[in-house]
Amino acid sequence: MTTTFGERLQKLRDMTGLSRYSLSKKYKIPYSTLRQWEEASRISYDYVQRLIKLFNSINIIVSDDWLINGTGPEPYINKETDRLDLQTGHHQIQFDDVLALIEAKEYEKKYINSIVINISDQAMNPLFKPGDYVGGFVTSTNNMDLWIGDFAIVILQDGSTLFRKILWSQPDKEVALVAINPLAKEHNRYVKISDIKHFAPLYWHRILRKDKITTYNNIRDSRNFYGFL
Protein backbone atom coordinates (compact mmCIF):
# COMPACT_ATOMS: atom_id res chain seq x y z
CA MET A 1 0.00 0.00 0.00
CA THR A 2 1.40 3.39 -0.96
CA THR A 3 1.81 5.73 1.97
CA THR A 4 3.56 8.87 0.66
CA PHE A 5 2.92 11.27 -2.16
CA GLY A 6 6.19 10.28 -3.83
CA GLU A 7 5.30 6.58 -3.76
CA ARG A 8 1.91 7.28 -5.29
CA LEU A 9 3.52 9.36 -8.02
CA GLN A 10 5.96 6.52 -8.71
CA LYS A 11 3.01 4.16 -9.03
CA LEU A 12 1.45 6.41 -11.66
CA ARG A 13 4.74 6.54 -13.55
CA ASP A 14 4.97 2.74 -13.38
CA MET A 15 1.50 2.59 -14.97
CA THR A 16 2.87 4.49 -17.96
CA GLY A 17 5.63 1.94 -18.42
CA LEU A 18 8.19 4.75 -18.60
CA SER A 19 11.38 5.29 -16.65
CA ARG A 20 11.84 8.53 -14.74
CA TYR A 21 14.20 9.76 -17.46
CA SER A 22 11.82 8.82 -20.29
CA LEU A 23 8.84 10.46 -18.61
CA SER A 24 10.76 13.67 -17.94
CA LYS A 25 12.03 13.83 -21.52
CA LYS A 26 8.73 12.91 -23.17
CA TYR A 27 6.63 15.41 -21.23
CA LYS A 28 9.31 18.08 -20.75
CA ILE A 29 9.46 17.85 -16.96
CA PRO A 30 12.97 18.57 -15.63
CA TYR A 31 14.47 15.29 -14.44
CA SER A 32 15.61 16.82 -11.15
CA THR A 33 12.09 18.15 -10.52
CA LEU A 34 10.49 14.77 -11.16
CA ARG A 35 13.01 13.09 -8.88
CA GLN A 36 12.27 15.60 -6.10
CA TRP A 37 8.53 15.02 -6.51
CA GLU A 38 8.96 11.25 -6.29
CA GLU A 39 10.95 11.66 -3.08
CA ALA A 40 8.61 14.26 -1.54
CA SER A 41 5.92 13.80 1.07
CA ARG A 42 3.81 16.47 -0.64
CA ILE A 43 4.01 19.20 -3.31
CA SER A 44 1.95 22.31 -4.06
CA TYR A 45 -1.66 21.84 -5.12
CA ASP A 46 -1.00 23.62 -8.41
CA TYR A 47 1.61 21.03 -9.36
CA VAL A 48 -0.70 18.24 -8.27
CA GLN A 49 -3.36 19.53 -10.66
CA ARG A 50 -0.83 19.67 -13.50
CA LEU A 51 0.21 16.09 -12.84
CA ILE A 52 -3.39 14.88 -12.74
CA LYS A 53 -4.09 16.62 -16.02
CA LEU A 54 -0.99 15.04 -17.56
CA PHE A 55 -1.86 11.50 -16.47
CA ASN A 56 -5.52 11.87 -17.45
CA SER A 57 -4.44 13.04 -20.91
CA ILE A 58 -2.57 9.76 -21.40
CA ASN A 59 -5.56 7.76 -20.19
CA ILE A 60 -4.50 7.11 -16.60
CA ILE A 61 -7.47 8.26 -14.54
CA VAL A 62 -6.51 9.53 -11.09
CA SER A 63 -8.20 11.80 -8.55
CA ASP A 64 -6.57 14.55 -6.53
CA ASP A 65 -7.76 12.87 -3.30
CA TRP A 66 -5.80 9.74 -4.14
CA LEU A 67 -2.64 11.52 -5.26
CA ILE A 68 -2.58 13.94 -2.32
CA ASN A 69 -3.91 11.79 0.52
CA GLY A 70 -4.01 8.21 -0.75
CA THR A 71 -7.77 8.09 -0.26
CA GLY A 72 -10.56 7.37 -2.70
CA PRO A 73 -10.52 5.05 -5.71
CA GLU A 74 -7.24 3.70 -7.02
CA PRO A 75 -6.01 5.09 -10.36
CA TYR A 76 -6.80 3.02 -13.43
CA ILE A 77 -6.07 2.92 -17.14
CA ASN A 78 -8.97 3.95 -19.35
CA LYS A 79 -9.21 0.83 -21.51
CA GLU A 80 -11.32 2.53 -24.17
CA THR A 81 -8.52 4.94 -25.00
CA ASP A 82 -5.27 3.25 -23.96
CA ARG A 83 -4.31 2.85 -27.63
CA LEU A 84 -3.71 6.57 -27.83
CA ASP A 85 -0.39 8.26 -27.27
CA LEU A 86 -0.97 11.97 -27.73
CA GLN A 87 2.71 12.83 -27.73
CA THR A 88 4.53 10.35 -29.96
CA GLY A 89 4.66 11.32 -33.60
CA HIS A 90 3.67 7.95 -35.01
CA HIS A 91 0.26 8.22 -33.33
CA GLN A 92 -0.40 11.82 -34.33
CA ILE A 93 -2.23 12.83 -37.46
CA GLN A 94 -0.43 15.83 -38.95
CA PHE A 95 -2.99 18.21 -40.44
CA ASP A 96 -0.55 20.15 -42.62
CA ASP A 97 -2.38 20.41 -45.95
CA VAL A 98 -5.83 20.55 -47.49
CA LEU A 99 -6.24 16.78 -47.10
CA ALA A 100 -6.88 17.51 -43.44
CA LEU A 101 -10.62 17.51 -44.02
CA ILE A 102 -10.45 13.91 -45.18
CA GLU A 103 -7.87 12.98 -42.58
CA ALA A 104 -10.08 14.34 -39.81
CA LYS A 105 -12.75 11.81 -40.64
CA GLU A 106 -10.19 9.02 -40.96
CA TYR A 107 -8.85 10.13 -37.60
CA GLU A 108 -12.26 9.64 -36.02
CA LYS A 109 -12.48 6.15 -37.50
CA LYS A 110 -9.00 5.15 -36.34
CA TYR A 111 -9.30 6.48 -32.78
CA ILE A 112 -12.62 5.48 -31.34
CA ASN A 113 -12.52 8.15 -28.65
CA SER A 114 -11.81 11.13 -30.92
CA ILE A 115 -14.38 13.74 -31.94
CA VAL A 116 -13.96 16.21 -34.80
CA ILE A 117 -16.65 18.78 -35.60
CA ASN A 118 -17.09 21.71 -37.93
CA ILE A 119 -17.95 25.01 -36.26
CA SER A 120 -21.33 26.13 -37.60
CA ASP A 121 -22.37 29.02 -35.37
CA GLN A 122 -21.05 32.39 -34.20
CA ALA A 123 -20.97 31.52 -30.51
CA MET A 124 -17.18 31.31 -30.23
CA ASN A 125 -16.14 34.25 -32.41
CA PRO A 126 -13.53 35.70 -32.72
CA LEU A 127 -11.34 32.71 -31.80
CA PHE A 128 -13.39 30.02 -33.53
CA LYS A 129 -15.38 30.90 -36.62
CA PRO A 130 -17.89 29.04 -38.80
CA GLY A 131 -15.98 26.70 -41.08
CA ASP A 132 -13.20 26.00 -38.57
CA TYR A 133 -12.62 22.40 -37.52
CA VAL A 134 -11.94 21.47 -33.90
CA GLY A 135 -11.09 18.09 -32.44
CA GLY A 136 -10.49 16.45 -29.10
CA PHE A 137 -10.41 13.16 -27.25
CA VAL A 138 -13.28 11.90 -25.12
CA THR A 139 -12.39 12.41 -21.47
CA SER A 140 -14.05 11.31 -18.25
CA THR A 141 -16.33 13.88 -16.63
CA ASN A 142 -15.27 12.58 -13.21
CA ASN A 143 -12.48 15.17 -13.16
CA MET A 144 -14.40 18.06 -14.68
CA ASP A 145 -12.65 20.49 -12.32
CA LEU A 146 -9.44 20.01 -14.31
CA TRP A 147 -11.00 21.43 -17.46
CA ILE A 148 -12.77 24.48 -16.07
CA GLY A 149 -11.84 27.44 -18.22
CA ASP A 150 -10.90 25.27 -21.22
CA PHE A 151 -12.72 24.93 -24.54
CA ALA A 152 -14.37 21.59 -25.27
CA ILE A 153 -16.71 19.68 -27.54
CA VAL A 154 -19.75 18.59 -25.55
CA ILE A 155 -22.32 16.08 -26.74
CA LEU A 156 -25.41 16.07 -24.56
CA GLN A 157 -27.80 13.22 -23.83
CA ASP A 158 -30.45 15.00 -25.92
CA GLY A 159 -28.19 14.72 -28.98
CA SER A 160 -27.01 18.34 -29.05
CA THR A 161 -23.37 18.91 -30.01
CA LEU A 162 -21.77 22.13 -28.80
CA PHE A 163 -18.31 23.64 -28.78
CA ARG A 164 -18.08 25.99 -25.83
CA LYS A 165 -15.97 27.31 -22.98
CA ILE A 166 -16.44 25.25 -19.80
CA LEU A 167 -17.20 26.95 -16.48
CA TRP A 168 -18.95 26.08 -13.24
CA SER A 169 -22.30 27.72 -12.56
CA GLN A 170 -22.64 28.59 -8.89
CA PRO A 171 -24.32 27.85 -6.54
CA ASP A 172 -25.99 24.89 -8.28
CA LYS A 173 -22.68 23.36 -9.39
CA GLU A 174 -23.98 22.96 -12.91
CA VAL A 175 -21.69 23.02 -15.92
CA ALA A 176 -21.94 26.29 -17.85
CA LEU A 177 -21.40 25.91 -21.60
CA VAL A 178 -20.38 29.47 -22.38
CA ALA A 179 -20.60 31.30 -25.72
CA ILE A 180 -17.74 33.82 -25.67
CA ASN A 181 -19.23 36.03 -28.40
CA PRO A 182 -21.57 38.56 -26.69
CA LEU A 183 -23.17 39.41 -30.04
CA ALA A 184 -24.07 35.85 -30.97
CA LYS A 185 -27.68 34.68 -30.90
CA GLU A 186 -26.56 31.48 -29.20
CA HIS A 187 -27.00 31.62 -25.44
CA ASN A 188 -25.09 29.95 -22.63
CA ARG A 189 -26.44 26.58 -21.56
CA TYR A 190 -26.39 25.16 -18.06
CA VAL A 191 -26.40 21.40 -17.67
CA LYS A 192 -25.76 18.77 -15.04
CA ILE A 193 -22.80 16.45 -15.48
CA SER A 194 -25.28 13.61 -15.91
CA ASP A 195 -26.66 15.44 -18.98
CA ILE A 196 -23.27 15.11 -20.73
CA LYS A 197 -22.89 12.03 -22.93
CA HIS A 198 -19.43 12.81 -24.32
CA PHE A 199 -16.89 15.46 -23.31
CA ALA A 200 -13.77 16.21 -25.37
CA PRO A 201 -11.41 19.05 -24.38
CA LEU A 202 -9.90 20.89 -27.33
CA TYR A 203 -6.78 19.26 -28.75
CA TRP A 204 -6.71 20.35 -32.40
CA HIS A 205 -7.94 23.47 -34.22
CA ARG A 206 -7.84 23.93 -37.99
CA ILE A 207 -8.62 27.37 -39.41
CA LEU A 208 -9.78 27.46 -43.02
CA ARG A 209 -9.89 30.85 -44.70
CA LYS A 210 -9.84 31.87 -48.35
CA ASP A 211 -6.35 33.30 -48.00
CA LYS A 212 -4.96 31.23 -45.15
CA ILE A 213 -4.94 27.71 -43.70
CA THR A 214 -3.63 27.38 -40.16
CA THR A 215 -3.45 24.36 -37.89
CA TYR A 216 -2.85 24.24 -34.16
CA ASN A 217 -1.96 20.75 -32.91
CA ASN A 218 -1.43 19.37 -29.42
CA ILE A 219 -3.33 22.10 -27.57
CA ARG A 220 -2.84 21.02 -23.96
CA ASP A 221 -4.25 24.01 -22.12
CA SER A 222 -6.55 26.17 -24.23
CA ARG A 223 -6.89 28.71 -21.42
CA ASN A 224 -3.25 29.67 -21.80
CA PHE A 225 -3.00 28.90 -25.52
CA TYR A 226 -5.78 31.31 -26.49
CA GLY A 227 -5.65 33.51 -23.41
CA PHE A 228 -8.33 33.91 -20.76
CA LEU A 229 -11.60 35.38 -22.01
Q: What is the pLDDT of residue 163?
A: 95
Q: What is the pLDDT of residue 91?
A: 35
Which of 45-54, 85-94, 154-163 ranks highest by mean pLDDT? 154-163
Q: What is the pLDDT of residue 190?
A: 92
Q: pLDDT tier at 161 (50, 70, 90 boundaries)?
A: very high
13 in Cβ contact with 27 (< 8 Å): no
The span from the CA of 142 to the CA of 60, in Å, is: 13
The span from the CA of 79 to the CA of 59, in Å, is: 8
Q: What is the pLDDT of residue 225?
A: 61
Is the fold of 5-77 the same as that of 92-226?
A: no
Residue of 169 and 212 predicted with greater confidence: 169
Report which residue type is found at 184: A
The span from the CA of 165 to the CA of 163, in Å, is: 7
Whole-number mean pLDDT of the chain? Answer: 77
- Max Cα–Cα distance, the chain, nearest Å: 59
Q: What is the pLDDT of residue 189?
A: 92
Name the residue ranges covered by the structural domains of the chain: 5-77, 92-226
Kindly report the backbone phi and psi dihedral angles of residue 103, in degrees, each rounded to the nearest multiple of 5, phi listed first: -60, -35
Taking the whole predicted model, whether its pTM rises above 0.75 is answered as no
Predicted confidence (pLDDT) at residue 50 exceeds the cutoff of 90:
no
Q: What is the pLDDT of residue 176?
A: 93
113 in Cβ contact with 84 (< 8 Å): yes
Q: What is the pLDDT of residue 221?
A: 63
Q: What is the pLDDT of residue 211?
A: 54
Predicted confidence (pLDDT) at residue 191 exceeds the cutoff of 90:
yes
Q: What is the pLDDT of residue 104?
A: 58
Q: pLDDT tier at 78 (50, 70, 90 boundaries)?
A: low
User: Residue 205 to residues 13, 152, 209: CA-CA distances in angstroms?
Assistant: 30, 11, 13
Which fold is adopted by the domain 5-77? Answer: 434 Repressor (Amino-terminal Domain) (1.10.260)
Which fold is adopted by the domain 92-226? Answer: Umud Fragment, subunit A (2.10.109)
